[in-house]
Amino acid sequence: MTDGGMGNDDDLVGGEADREPDPSDSLRTWGAVQQALREHAGYSRAEFADLVRFSKHTVESVELGRRMPDAAFVERADEVLGNTGALRKGSRYVTRGRGDVGLAAWFRRWARLEREAVSLCTYECRLVPGLLQAEEYVRAVFDNSIPLLSDEELEDQLAARLARQRLLVERPNVPFSFIVEEHVLRRRLGGADVMRGLYDHVLELTARRNVTLQIMPLDTEFHACLDGPVRLLETPKRQRLAYSEGQQNGRLISDPKEVSLLYQRYDTLRSQALNPKDSRGLLERLRGEL
Q: What is the pLDDT of residue 94?
A: 78
Predicted confidence band of residue 97 (pLDDT cuts 50, 70, 90): low
The mean pLDDT value for 203-210 works out to 95
Q: What is the pLDDT of residue 1?
A: 53
Mean pLDDT, all residues of the chain? 88
- Indicate if the pLDDT at residue 190 is higher than 80: yes
Whole-angstrom distance, CA of residue 123 vs CA of residue 228: 8
Q: What is the pLDDT of residue 14?
A: 37
- Indicate if the pLDDT at residue 2 is higher than 70: no
Per-residue model confidence as pLDDT tens digits over 9-31: 333 433 344 455 556 788 889 99
Per-residue model confidence as pLDDT tens digits over 37-85: 999 999 999 999 999 998 888 899 899 887 878 778 999 999 999 999 9
- Indicate if the pLDDT at residue 4 is higher than 70: no
Q: What is the pTM of this model?
A: 0.69
Whole-angstrom distance, CA of residue 102 vs CA of residue 15: 23
Q: What is the pLDDT of residue 163?
A: 82
For the chain, how are helix, strand and coil distributed in percent, rounded to 5? 50, 15, 35
The β-bridge partners of 251 are 244
- Percent of the chain with pLDDT strictly greater than 90: 64
- Indicate if the pLDDT at residue 276 is higher than 60: yes
Four-CA torsion 192, 197, 200, 205, nearest 10 degrees: -130
Which position has the higher pLDDT, 15 or 240? 240
Residue 78 dihedral angles phi and psi, to the nearest 5°: -65, -40
CA 30 to chain centre: 26
Whole-angstrom distance, CA of residue 34 vs CA of residue 86: 10
- Indicate if the pLDDT at residue 241 is higher than 60: yes
Which position has the higher pLDDT, 94 or 239? 239
The mean pLDDT value for 81-96 works out to 87
- 225 burial via Cβ count (<10 Å: 0-12, 13-18, 19+): buried
